[in-house]
Structures are given as C-alpha cells and as structure tokens.
Amino acid sequence: MSQTTLRNRLRDVLRSVSPTRGVLGALLADADDGIVVASSLDVGLDADAVGALAASMVARANQAAMAAGRGSAGVIHLHSALGWLCAARAGAHVLVVVADRQAPVGHVRSALLRARASLTDL
Amino acid sequence: MADVHAAGRARIAGPEVRRLSERLARDPASLVFLHLGDALRRDGRLDQALRVAENGVARHPDLVDAHALLGRVAADAGRLIQAEACWREVERLAPGHVDAARGLAFIRWCEGRPDEAREYLEEAFARTDDDATRRSITAAINRLSGVPDRRVIAPTPHLASPAMTGGVNGSGNATGNAFVPASGEVAQEMAAVLEHANRLGEAMQIGRWHALIVECDVGLMGVSLSSADNVAEPGVRFQVADNLPVGRAIRLLLQDQEGE
C-alpha cells in the first residue's frame, strides 16, 4: 500500500469517528515520537501539540498502571469543564478522540475502540 | 470546533468575570486584575488568566500578590518552571511568605518529589499561626504521608482499592475507605500524566482538567482535581477500582469534585 493510500485510509478511519454525537475530531500520532500521522481535528487546534502530548501522556499512564500492578493502560479519559479527550494506544500509534462535554462517554469510547480495530486491519 | 468552545466558555463565563473585566478595562492600572485573574483561573480559562496575571506583574513588579497570582495560574497551567520563578520572587519580596512555601510544595509534589513537598509544607506551617491555615497545611502533609483525611472517607459510594483500603462490590460500590494515597513510582508517573493533562487542556482549549481515568488490564485508576482554591494543598485524589464501569467512575469522580 502506498503512503498516499495509507494516509487516505487513515483519514477515512478518523472520519468514521466523527459522526458520533459530540465528537469534534480525531487524531493519530506515532506512539514513540508523537508526530501526527493523520488528523481530522479542526484547523483551529494545534494538532501537533495535542498529538505529542497525548502520545507522551499515554506512555506515562502505561508506566503508572504497571507501577501500580494493574497491567497495561488501555483507554485514557481526560475530562474538563468544556470537553474531553479519549486516547488509547493503537499498535505503533496513539489514537485520540476529542469530544465536547455533552458527548456520551460510552458512545465515544465505542467509536474509539472501533477505529482502533479498523487501524489494526490496515 | 471553535464555536463549540466559545459556547462552552460563554456558559461558564459568570457575571463576576464580566464585571471585573469591565472594571479593569476602565482602569487598567487598578488592582482588579488580582480578582479577575483568580476568577478566570477558577473558570479554567488559564490562557486568559495567564495574560491577566502577566500583565499585572508587568505593571506592578513590586507587588507580592501579583507574583503570587501568576504563581498560582502558572502552576495550574502546568508551567512549573514559571510558577517556581514566581514563588521565588514572592520569597524575595516578602521573606517568610506562607503561600510561597505552599506554592513550592505543590510544585515539588507535581514533580513527584513528595519528600521535598513535605519539607516546604512544614516550613509553611512554621510560618503561620492562623488556625485554619495550619489545619489546611496539616491535611496536605497527612495526605502526602498517607494518613487518611477524615473529610475523604465519608460513607458514600466511591472508588476504592480492595488491596489498599477496602472493597468494591459487584456494583462498584465502595465498602471501605474511598481514597488511596499514591506513592513512590506510581505518584511520580501520575504526576507526569497530570502535567501532560494540564498542557493538553491548554492545547485543546478545553481548560483545566477535572477528572482523569486510566482503564487498565486490571480495573482502572482515577484522578480527580480538588476544587479547593488553595494551590498549596495537593488537591489531587488518586483512586483505584476494580469492576467499575468507566462511565460510572467518571460520574463518581466528578461528584467528588462537586461535593467538596
């Protein structure tokens, strides 16, 4: 698969998350260096910063989980008064979904897990 | 997306912020910025709070409260280096300042250095004879030492760790103490996670985080942010749970915060 095709497929996977109620966009970053591979986030957001920080946060959360004797970290949910972020490791990448605060937790989480499953098929 | 964020901000922008903003606009040299900066900080609008505090420091470089405000905001925003510089400046301008020691304690705690955080808190305790302040500092020291705070073991359903404090039944109701002090490597790693969370909130323009859940192979770990204004109290609660749906965990964490 060419790089262009791969990118298009990745973008399609990210777009598949967006119809979920309250979801504002999604992003895929390299798990090691945090470089954004694909993003459907609004241009107003600094996707590079979100990708790098999310990748690093997922890695540190995984270390915290291991240190606490709870195995590996799976999905991470970060809530604020205005919205929330859902992130998870997806193979060599980190998948991030950004939602507004009204978005149903279960739906967004399911969308993220579906997208993660699609990524493993690529 | 920008519209959604703007709508969110409008919802939380209280009349207090508007009133203070108008007062500051009418008289930019006034000390209203101290109240406005704190109001914005409480709203989680840290970018704006930083601008207000930095402008205030620029206008009033010898004002202790201006540096203290910037120290609080910078710490909330995860800018620990900037926050430390502010508290050092407070110390320089007002040696023996209680909040400077508490602010530095908070920074050390965020850095995963609880021993140094405790030293600063003990220093803060020695600097004041105000009973309420001393109680608050003692609670913070106890939390660092793993001594349960009476306020946080109320008999309400919360997350809990069977291994550490009690049990969680199949419905996720805690049967033991609710809160678990994180220590050692876990605390250090979680402090790093929270620093990233602070910066993510800024990058995503969603403000200060309130709750963070990490789903694990075994149960989940949850962190909620205390709504206490006092930055020197390590206002973060770390909890673990088995067998609890993530949606319920989030609701419980947010209830914790609102219930303070």
d(CA B209, CA A76): 13
Judged by a CB distance cut-off of 8 A, whether residue B210 touches chain A is yes
- Tell me the per-residue pLDDT of A13-71, one tens digit each, with 9 for 90 and over: 777 777 777 888 888 998 888 888 888 887 667 788 888 889 989 998 998 888 877 88
Residues within 8 A of A (CB atoms), B 135-194 only: 184-186, 189-190, 192-193
Q: Do A77 and B211 touch (CB under 8 A)?
A: yes
Phi/psi-derived region of residue A2, left when phi > 0, alpha when psi is between -120 and 50, beta in every other case: beta
Token pair listed for B161: 């760790």
- Outline where chain B has alpha helix (H): 2-12, 15-26, 32-42, 46-59, 64-76, 80-93, 98-110, 114-127, 131-145, 184-203, 246-258
- Domains of chain B plus CATH, in order, are 2-145 (1.25.40.10), 150-258 (3.30.450)
Which of B216, B237, B145 lies closest to A67, judged by CA?
A: B216
Of B205, B213, B218, the CB nearest to A70: B218
Tens digit of pLDDT for each residue in B94-133? 999 999 999 998 888 777 777 888 889 889 988 988 877 8
Domain locations along chain A? 3-121
Interchain contact B6–A (C-beta under 8 A): no
DSSP class of residue B151? G
Order of strands across the sheet that contains B209-216:
A36-39, A23-30, A93-100, A83-90, A73-80, B209-216, B220-225, B236-241
CATH superfamily of the A3-121 domain: Dynein light chain 2a, cytoplasmic (3.30.450.30)
In angstroms, the Cα distances linking B112 to B24, B185, B195 are 38, 8, 11
Residue B246, pLDDT score: 75
Which residues in chain B are contacts of A53 at CB distance < 8 A? 196, 199-200, 203
Question: Does this model's pTM top 0.80?
Answer: no
Pick the residue with more confidence: B242 or B212? Answer: B212
